Homo-oligomer: A and B are copies of this chain.
């Protein structure tokens, strides 16, 4: 019977099958050390039979093997066991050397080389650890929101009109007429607040942005939610704090091996995350970093980095909410603050120097939304389905969109989104 490498130490004294990839092989002549990698981990087999050793000669790394043998206690092995008296069956031989050595501790190919050979490069233990953490983040996200009464939705990615930001949209040939790829599930999740009050979605979003930076790609995974009957944007911030805390706890507990392998420091999130208003943030930047950005409607990457430095030093937090972005820089559906109508009840969440979440309270009154759409140059016909929901009763509500890869990048200390995206898409890259 096949067992996983991870479970092997529990089978000392038994003959079992281990199946996996030939991760490494040291041929010492009369004997040799084979490390087998499977989906869960790695395990060492010691070969001392000339016939069995002969089967591996001429094979390249990544050959797929079925190894039957006796699990034996071995105090010198990290897991306390190894396999002896092995019989090998080669399931898929590999005859060509790999484009790079994925079994080294230091695996640092150039980014383009890595991306060209991602189907193989992703098999590297450190690389694949990133995507196991990615899976755990998604699981934690859904788990927490399900407990909080949210309903999962899947909304269309092909849409009939592009309104959120006309410039950054991909155009599609839809049976002879133009259609567009959704830039976010924003309108749909708001509509669904009218149905379920609380909804979430994890899915792809598409941005035809022409700037090719380390923190932008043209397709990414957005973790969205929208919730009804909020008092204001701070209710959304509280939900975000709770879900992030749970996601990170899941990573710590469910990915302990990966966290150790990557030497990660997963931040603990307390009861709340510190928050400052945009005008105050700009004042801090002026005072501490001598740059006057008080007139600007948005924060530049350098400003975000400074504010995170400030938060870490002064507030003891790796996270920082910045609230009250100017109306001018937010979409037409962002709710202006009644006290200061040039600012919105919105927020960004900064994490280790980079924005990872954008959210806020939305306009819920039909007339106000109509009026704002007109001000932003959006015609009611273009968004008639969306407006329907508001015409027929929407509660005060808000939500956010969180970039899965951005979050993963900041959590794991990678410097380019392409390192934490499975098969990234940018202006130059459509394959693999």
Contacts and interface: CB of A to CB of B under 8 A. Distances in A.
Contacts of A172: 170-173, 181
A28 interface: no
Contact of A64 (B93, B203, B384, B395): B395
Q: How many copies of this chain?
A: 2
A195 B138 contact: no
Interface in A202-257: 202-204, 206, 208, 210, 218-219, 221, 228-229
Nearest to A426: B175
Interface in A287-303: none
Given A39-B151, A152-B139, A204 B391 contact: no
Chain A interface extent, by class: 35 or more
A321 B131 CA distance: 34
Contacts of A2: 229
A393 B64 contact: yes
Interface string A9-52: 00000000001011000000000000000111000000000000
Nearest to A123: B195
Interface stretch (A76-84, A157-165, A330-338, A347-355): A157-165
Contacts of A366: 92
Contacts of A425: 156, 158
A296 to B, nearest CB: 29
A128 interface: yes
Interface string A153-195: 1111111110000000011111100010100000010011011
Interface stretch (A113-121, A259-267, A308-316): A113-121
A68 interface: no
A131 B195 contact: yes
5 contacts: A21-B194, A39-B151, A40-B149, A94-B391, A120-B389
Top-10 shortest CB links A-B: A385-B432, A39-B197, A160-B430, A62-B393, A160-B431, A135-B152, A119-B389, A62-B392, A119-B388, A119-B191
Given A19-B229, A132-B151, 5 more contacts: A63-B393, A92-B366, A120-B392, A122-B195, A203-B204
